[in-house]
Amino acid sequence: EHLARLREALFLAVAIDDLAEVVRLESEVPPKLWKFWAYRLKLVERASRRCRPDLVNALPRIAGKECPGVEVVRKRREGLEKRPRPGSADATLERQRGEVLIGLV
């Protein structure tokens, strides 16, 4: 029962991007179980998709397709946060796209 609560707490901590709680839970969970939960609950994949490099670093390293790595996550994050220069053609296009989307809703 105690481990079930820890597993749920870990899942929720990653879901709400609570890095401090993830670090705290790591100290309470045995290392092999920590790695298994990170894999089984797809925690690294979730943190990577949402571009949270700090969470990816706190979770255990998982190799393969599920884990694109910190550099890939950082590049994706930069791409998401990039904004065009105000007054540029790209800024106008982005504004017009936004207005069209708002108009559809």
Among 5-14, 33-42, 58-67, 88-97, the range scoring the smallest mean pLDDT is: 58-67
Report the distance separating Cα 10 and Cα 55, nearest Å.
12
50 — phi, psi (to 5°)? -90, 10
The first and second tokens of residue 66, run together, are 């599920």
Burial class (CB in 10 A: 0-12, 13-18, 19+), 76: middle
Residue type, 46: R
pLDDT confidence tier of residue 27, bands split at 50, 70 and 90: confident
Which residue is it, tokens 């930069």?
78
pLDDT, one tens digit per residue, over 46-105 is 777 767 777 777 776 665 554 556 677 778 778 777 888 889 998 999 889 989 999 987
Residues 24-29, mean pLDDT to the nearest whole number: 86
Residue of 104 and 39 predicted with greater confidence? 104
